[in-house]
Amino acid sequence: MNWLTVVFVILRTLTNPALGAPLSGAPSEPDPALAFTVQLDNLPFVNKGLVAFGLIPSNFTESTGDTLGGIGSAIALKLGSFQQRKDGGFTGTLVVQPDRGFNVDTTINYQGRQHEIDFILNPYYSSENLTFTQAQETLQLQYKKTLLYTDRRNVKTSGLDTLGVRPAEFGFPFIAVADPVMPIPNSTFSHLSMDNEGLVLNKDGTFWVSDEYGPYIYRFDSSGGLMQTIQPPEAIVPRINGVVNFTSVTGPDTGRAGNQDGGSDKSTSRFTRLLAYDISLPLVLRPVLKAEFVVPLPQNSKANTLASSEIHFVSEGILLVLSRDGNGHGDDTTKSKFKSIDLIDIRNATDIHGSKFDSPTHPIAINGTLDSSITPAAYIEFLDMINTTQLARFGLHNGTMELPEYSLFTYRLYAGDPADATLIDAKWESIALAPVGDPKFPHDFFLFTAADNDFLTTQGISLGQPYNAGIDNDNQFMVYRVTLPTK
């Protein structure tokens, strides 16, 4: 991230005439009573509270004719797009990236893609509660366009489960852009299969995408064409009976989910890995693994892992991480107990890259117990996304319905629970930062996050076919104001 933030003059705050009475005269700075601070390395990291909420309806269709959904799987601020308006509001463009289409019944042949969404941000700083309708004036979102992703030879990428493996390209690994073995639906349908979860935009128009099938990291050119692939260490590449197998249906014996690092069971999967690659000369030199750390994820009261859905660089050694349960709107259980954007500090953590732990024969956490030779990163809870006071300011709420994990009942049987549009979405999976440009607070950022709604709508279109998922789960967005200090 570039820490040279442009300094704007704040002229005033909310004068958007579209906004109703409760907003006029609202404060131009966050109410200090809403702030929550944690100290890290003697520096105050401050959550100044939720400042905006917006949504795109669950039945909105994009330019290809498909339902717009899953878009909170990854978001990024379009470079150079963020600007302050004369009226004190802000405008910009978010690039959002869905995962693998409407796949509640089965995986589908959904082409990877990203969308541009323009926004107007009118940060709301008062402690008074807005109505849900008023709240939506604080972040107004407008879909603009879609970019589709293509594999080698201009073949469309797919979202189908990966029963096949395409052999590595000639020259791998010596040629930087030659592909390793690649996940494909089957040997007669050689389309790169993607389940996209991460997105980083580069200044030259190319962008990096992380995917769950590999799990790999891909670079695409500005027209959406595959340029190159990063394959993680052997310990992470999924294998069944010793053979690479990318299927998401059966857990592998070693590598990613069915992972030797504690297994896929939530009671043992707490310790995960954070990898750092050198991407300074990606076309000349295959990105080299430079560092690798162990991150201890938070756990719920039953000692089950609350998995991480996103990370974002803050400063040397410090990252933001979004960890959560899967409860809320779109899930059978509406009552969420943990959704949090936290800090990880890797400065004292053991760098295990290139060690025995990069081999599948040396797990870092057998049965969930971390190898005693490894010091993990520090994990610091920071921003509670389901704080009742903060949600109520935007007409939002956490759920009340708790179903036992083994329950087969669905939300449809619980019409009494307020599982409506004002219930917070279940699956928040993204972080983007934009500098506030307030000279009094040079380290203040707007932190954007969006939910993956799993394409859940009663009026859906998927690959040209209508569908009814039985629930309308809007694409929700939230914006916080945070102070992220650096020395």
Ligand X SMILES: *[C@@H]1O[C@H](CO)[C@@H](O)[C@H](O)[C@H]1NC(C)=O
Member of 19, 34, 135, 194 binding ligand X (CB under 6 A): 34
Q: Whose Cβ is closer to ligand X: residue 28's or residue 389's?
A: 389
Q: Whose Cβ is closer to ligand X: residue 8's or residue 189's?
A: 189
How far, in whole angstroms, is CA 455 from its chain's centroid?
A: 16
H or E element, residue 460: strand 460-462
For residue 160, state whether it binds ligand X (rule: CB under 6 A): yes
- Angstrom CA distances, 399 to 33, 105, 136, 417, 423, stand at 25, 25, 20, 7, 6
Question: Which residues ranging from 273 to 332 are in contact with ligand X (CB under 6 A)?
Answer: none
**Least spacing, CB of residue 58 vs ligand X, in Å:** 8
Question: Which residues ranging from 341 to 370 are in contact with ligand X (CB under 6 A)?
Answer: 345, 347-348, 366-367
b/e map 87-118, b = 16+ CB within 10 Å? ebbbebbbbbbbbbbbbeeebbbbbbbbbbbb
Size of the site for ligand X (CB under 6 A): 43
Report DSSP state, residue 222.
T
Q: Whose Cβ is closer to ligand X: residue 78's or residue 326's?
A: 326
Question: Which residues ranging from 457 to 486 are in contact with ligand X (CB under 6 A)?
Answer: 459
Q: How far apart are CA 425 and CA 415, in angstroms?
A: 17
Member of 386, 396, 401, 451 binding ligand X (CB under 6 A): 386
For residue 132, state whether it binds ligand X (rule: CB under 6 A): no
- Angstrom CA distances, 236 to 213, 259, 263, 287, 400, stand at 11, 7, 12, 17, 38
Interface stretch with ligand X, choices 98-106, 192-200, 299-307, 389-397 (CB under 6 A): 389-397
Contact (CB, 8 A) for 319 and 293: no
**Least spacing, CB of residue 408 vs ligand X, in Å:** 23
For residue 131, state whether it binds ligand X (rule: CB under 6 A): no
Burial group, residue 205, by CB count within 10 angstroms (0-12, 13-18, 19+): exposed
Question: Which residues ranging from 176 to 205 are in contact with ligand X (CB under 6 A)?
Answer: 185-186, 188-189
**Six-digit token string for 114:** 């990203």
Member of 147, 168, 240, 279 binding ligand X (CB under 6 A): 240
Q: How far apart are CA 88 and CA 19, in angstroms?
A: 14
Member of 392, 402, 422, 442 binding ligand X (CB under 6 A): 392
Q: How far apart are CA 184 and CA 161, in angstroms?
A: 8
**Least spacing, CB of residue 257 vs ligand X, in Å:** 13
For residue 69, state whether it binds ligand X (rule: CB under 6 A): no
Interface stretch with ligand X, choices 199-207, 209-217, 243-251, 304-312 (CB under 6 A): 243-251
For residue 337, state whether it binds ligand X (rule: CB under 6 A): yes
Which residues partner with 476 through β-bridges? 55
For residue 420, state whether it binds ligand X (rule: CB under 6 A): no
**Least spacing, CB of residue 388 vs ligand X, in Å:** 6
How far, in whole angstroms, is CA 206 from its chain's centroid?
A: 19
**Six-digit token string for 486:** 């650096």
CB within 8 A of 279, min separation 6: which ones?
208, 287
Q: Residue 143, Cβ neighbours under 10 Å: how many?
A: 18
**Least spacing, CB of residue 64 vs ligand X, in Å:** 14
**Least spacing, CB of residue 472 vs ligand X, in Å:** 8
**Six-digit token string for 20:** 């109703």
Q: Whose Cβ is closer to ligand X: residue 199's or residue 482's?
A: 482
How far, in whole angstroms, is CA 400 from its chain's centroid?
A: 25
CB within 8 A of 221, min separation 6: which ones?
205, 206, 227
For residue 245, state whether it binds ligand X (rule: CB under 6 A): yes
Member of 308, 340, 390, 453 binding ligand X (CB under 6 A): 390
Member of 128, 265, 278, 405 binding ligand X (CB under 6 A): 128
Member of 388, 407, 410, 468 binding ligand X (CB under 6 A): 388
**Least spacing, CB of residue 51 vs ligand X, in Å:** 12
For residue 269, state whether it binds ligand X (rule: CB under 6 A): no
Report the interface residues with ligand X, using CB under 6 A.
34, 36, 41, 49, 57, 59-61, 128-129, 160, 163-165, 185-186, 188-189, 240, 243, 245, 247, 250, 335-337, 345, 347-348, 366-367, 378, 384, 386-390, 392, 397-398, 400, 459
